[in-house]
Amino acid sequence: MKILVINGPNLNMLGIREPGIYGKSSFADLLNLLEATARELGIEVEQYQSNHEGDLVDKIQWAYGKVDGIVINPAAYTHTSVAILDALKAVSIPAVEVHISDVDARESFRQISYAGLACCKTIKGHGLEGYREAIVYLFQILQ
């Protein structure tokens, strides 16, 4: 089983600023958590991060026929990108949306998710642990 984890703009800056919202863990900590989860479940987990909407769309298209599940945190593009929604719909790969912060408790514009419309589950406000929960969820439904 192969799971692709996609992270959108600025998530590579984790731990550098706004620890009150996103926690103190760094992006390297997230990569370690993904590796540990892959090892624990005996599956392959690939991570991709980009600050560019088109690159995120390209990676979702690339995943067609190559991965069994997608975990996606589109970051700010969550709230704006119909292109990412359409790409997720086009490949029709089971996808879980993750948000580190509790977007429902923040500004009203963060309560709109286009990508979430193509996802079978959304995990928000669980910090980096949310990525682990998303991978375990996909692992269970894909078995």
Judged by the rule CB under 6 A, the positions of this chain that interact with ligand CA2 are 10-11, 13-14, 16-18, 22, 73, 75-76, 78, 99-101, 103, 110
**Would you say 34 and 135 are in contact if contact means Cβ atoms under 8 Å apart?**
yes
Annotated active-site positions, please? 22, 99
The full DSSP string for 20-82 is HHH-S--HHHHHHHHHHHHHHHT-EEEEEE-S-HHHHHHHHHHTTTT-SEEEEE-GGGGGT-H
**Which residue's CB is nearer to ligand CA2, number 59 or number 99?**
99
Smallest separation (angstroms) from ligand CA2 to the CB of 109: 8
For residue 49, the cross-strand partners are 7
**Would you say 131 and 5 are in contact if contact means Cβ atoms under 8 Å apart?**
yes
**Which residue's CB is nearer to ligand CA2, number 14 or number 45?**
14
**Would you say 8 and 73 are in contact if contact means Cβ atoms under 8 Å apart?**
yes
**Which residue's CB is nearer to ligand CA2, number 75 or number 134?**
75
Smallest separation (angstroms) from ligand CA2 to the CB of 30: 11
Smallest separation (angstroms) from ligand CA2 to the CB of 38: 20
